[in-house]
Amino acid sequence: MINLAIIIFIVFLKFAIPAAIVFFPFLAGWANFILDTIDGDILIPLGLENPTYQLIDKLADWTTYLGMILAAWRFKWDIKKWIYGLFSFRSIGQLLFLIFKNELLLFYFPNFLEPLFLIYATIFFFKKTKTYSFYLKYKWLIWIFVFVYKMQDEYITHVANVDRSELIKGLLDKIF
């Protein structure tokens, strides 16, 4: 019974935190990133079946993306058209994944939205009115980071299907 309560609470957070992104892009965005990184390692061992987890996770991801586009609109970010375009691009991939159940589709439609949003939200949090000029000054570095980070992440997650926790543990075991 306690497992069910924890599962319900975590699933609640997977939808509540994305709603908060609209109002607190930096704090809620990073909280969501952390939760989305660890939730599967918690929910599945607690008894949530993997197919159910995958459906919840993809719906929560889409809710997160919706929160991101609403935050970009609410705060009148100068990169909002990029945010809208990347939202549309990833949404197509997620819809195709839900229809065809083929994880490769998530690799072919990578989630560039989330890392770009988190970087911009971080700049916005610290620079406020100078956000866009800071972004423009470092846009090539930002985009190289977004591309490299997300492509390796999508590959590990959806092509190699390697559990990131096990990958990190294995690397640490080799080092130490």
C-alpha 54/C-alpha 47 separation (Å) is: 13
Name the DSSP class of 76: T
Taking only the tens place, the pLDDT of each residue in 16-75 is 999 999 999 999 999 999 999 999 999 999 999 999 999 999 999 999 999 999 999 999
Residue pair 61/94 in contact (Cβ under 8 Å)? The answer is yes
Residue pair 122/75 in contact (Cβ under 8 Å)? The answer is no
C-alpha 12/C-alpha 46 separation (Å) is: 15
Residue pair 73/58 in contact (Cβ under 8 Å)? The answer is no
C-alpha atoms less than 13 angstroms from C-alpha of 167 in its C-beta half-sphere: 8
Taking only the tens place, the pLDDT of each residue in 100-141 is 999 999 999 999 999 999 999 999 999 999 999 999 999 999
Residues 6+ apart with CB under 8 A from 14: 35, 36, 39, 56, 57, 60, 63
Residues 6+ apart with CB under 8 A from 61: 36, 94, 111
CA angle 15, 20, 153 (to 5 degrees): 65
- pTM of the predicted structure, to 2 decimals: 0.93
Mean residue pLDDT across the chain:
95
C-alpha 133/C-alpha 93 separation (Å) is: 31
